[in-house]
Amino acid sequence: MSDKFDVIVIGSGPAGYVAAIRCAQLGLKTACVEKWKNKEGKGVNGGTCLNVGCIPSKALLDTSHKYHEAKADFSIHGIATGDVNIDVPSMIKRKDDVVKQLTGGVAGLFKTNKVTSLYGSGKLLAGKKVQVTDFEGKVTEYEAENVILASGSIPVAIPVAPVDNDVIVDSTGALEFTEIPGRLGVIGAGVIGLELGSVWNRLGSNVVLLEAMDTFLSIMDQQIAKESQKLFKKQGLDIRLGCRVTGTEVVEKAGKKEVVVTYADKDGNESKEVFDKLIVCVGRRPFTDDLLAEDSGVKLDERGSIYVNDLCSTSAPGVYAVGDVVRGPMLAHKGSEEGVMVAERIAGEKTVMNYDIIPNVIYTHPEIAAVGRTEEQLKADGEPYNIGVFPFLASGRALAANEKDGMVKMIAHAETDRILGCHIVGPSAADLVQQVAIAMEFGSSAEDIGMTVFGHPTLSEAVHEAALAVAGHAIHIPNRKKRK
């Protein structure tokens, strides 16, 4: 038996590394176990998010957007360019450099905060013991007063489209293409499918997204979803709803591999499409493979997530779970805040987390962002509400930047005027929605935002005007109802 720790964290993604750092800050002797290896075979922290998720995908999204702007949008600003080309290997290298810098940053934070890094696979045993199998196969057991499980999630696999990491890839493989696919198929038109599809569409791929659901972005407010779908169609993304993939076959033609995809529409009619590459991104599942010994005392729920209460305590005393491996949306920031909450509660503080105010973002262009409840949810609950909508077309700052697509939708309670939700498709939506999240955390009303002075000209004024529009007081658009 080796050292005993106050806290051992299994997993160093956004939930795990944040939990470990906060535990250490609070004076707890902390270790963090991580099984991830970089391309050189060395252990690195950051989990899926930093290595093959949030960060690398955003690097490719930003590069591809700049390329598209230079090629298609600079002329409207009077900027003339010659031939604009993309060097895909250089783009991938830049992505890798960003990842390396950030994962190295986590390692530095661990060192500064005196968190012990244990590289290898962690497994929870009975009695809060953690077994770590390092990369050479050596097994060591550690004891802990508390254990935090933060093992994250992995892509869902589907039998009809087995990933071969060549022609058929998952979201990780889609970050490593060495050339632009002429024809790219994407199974799933959710967050990941839209982001990855957008990257390669901007670079010149003919992208088809096959979505089994009949409704586009069903988790989003449908007014925003429909507006987004219209904008994506304008960009050239071919989004086909109600299409369920029934089979795939990799074939070789003229010395080059391609994949034939068979799918059925909502009426059962079968069609085929041929692609150079196929990305499978139908969702993610909690990663609990070989994480728990049978006598660990930790239970899973019916969805395969680790069962926890509102404070992220599992069924085993002194064992907690946070992030993608537990209930709720699989969002890095949700996991991080859970990590902070658990660390502080272990240290004796009474921290709680507000699960009603967690922003959700899709990093397409324009971005899509939301916080709080949708209009559809409020209708289903029978709750009275008022809506204010402001289009970016009426924003001077958006027009000046040639970013006029989209809108801000503010929803407030019809009787109390308390903000119930905000939904945005448009420029900097991810940052704008955070303003409303802060307001909601303090129980603000739409009137409160309307009475706040916003800088001019800014994109934030669209949030201000949407809040004013809730009561029919918008200045820069016609109001739906008369001013009182």
Give the active site residues.
Answer: 456
Measured between alpha carbons, how far apart are the two ends of the chain, in Å? 73
H/E stretch holding 238 reads strand 238-240
Would you state the torsion angle of the CA atoms of residues 180, 184, 190, 196, taken in this order, to the nearest 10 degrees?
0
Spatial neighbors of 188 by CB under 8 A, at least 6 apart, are 209, 210, 211, 212, 280, 281, 282, 283
User: CA 472 → CA 119, 394, 469, distances in Å?
Assistant: 58, 16, 5
State both tokens at 81.
């360019």
State both tokens at 466.
């949407």
The candidate with the shortest Cα–Cα distance to 306, out of 318, 292, 290, is: 292
Sheet holding 419-426, edge to edge: 360-362, 367-372, 419-426, 407-413, 385-391
CB 25 within 8 A of CB 38: no
**Tokens 């999240």 label which residue?**
437
- Which parts of 230-326 are beta strand (E)? 238-240, 244-253, 256-264, 270-275, 277-280, 284-286, 319-321
User: CA 373 → CA 48, 420, 437, distances in Å?
Assistant: 28, 6, 12
Helix/strand/coil for 88: helix
Strand 419-426 relative to strand 407-413: parallel, antiparallel, unpaired? antiparallel
Helix/strand/coil for 15: helix
How far, in Å, CA of 185 to CA of 239, rounded? 10
State both tokens at 119.
């590289």
The candidate with the shortest Cα–Cα distance to 361, out of 410, 420, 429, 422, is: 429
Q: How many residues does the chain have?
A: 484
Count of alpha carbons within 13 angstroms of residue 138, beta-carbon side: 5
Spatial neighbors of 108 by CB under 8 A, at least 6 apart, are none
How far, in Å, CA of 208 to CA of 181, rounded? 12
How far, in Å, CA of 289 to CA of 303, rounded? 14
- What count of other Cβ atoms lies within 10 Å of the Cβ of residue 182? 12
Alpha helix (H) residue ranges in 204-352: 222-235, 332-346
Spatial neighbors of 413 by CB under 8 A, at least 6 apart, are 383, 384, 385, 386, 420
